[in-house]
Amino acid sequence: MAAFPEGFAACADLDPVYAKGLRDAAAAGVEVLCYRCDISPEEIRLSRRIAWRDAPTVTA
């Protein structure tokens, strides 16, 4: 199984409109929560919170 970097990335290379919308929403004050999930045929269960790797930098 391939190893993936820890954390969430919006995958702008596959869907740049989604990635931009997510960044714009965060910049407007929307709290973006990212969670690792355990997936089985019966359920999807939140495992733990993970970092948003390409989150916009907040400036004051």
Q: What is the pLDDT of residues 6-59, one digit of tens each?
A: 889 888 899 999 999 999 999 999 999 999 999 999 999 999 999 998 888 766
**In angstroms, rounded to a whole number, what is the distance separating the alpha carbons of residues 58 and 6?**
21
For 44, the 3-state DSSP assignment is strand
Cβ atoms of residues 3 and 46 within 8 Å: no
Strands 35-39 and 44-49, by their bridges, are antiparallel
- What is the pTM for the complete model shown? 0.71
**In angstroms, rounded to a whole number, what is the distance separating the alpha carbons of residues 50 and 19?**
17
pLDDT band (50, 70, 90) for residue 2: low
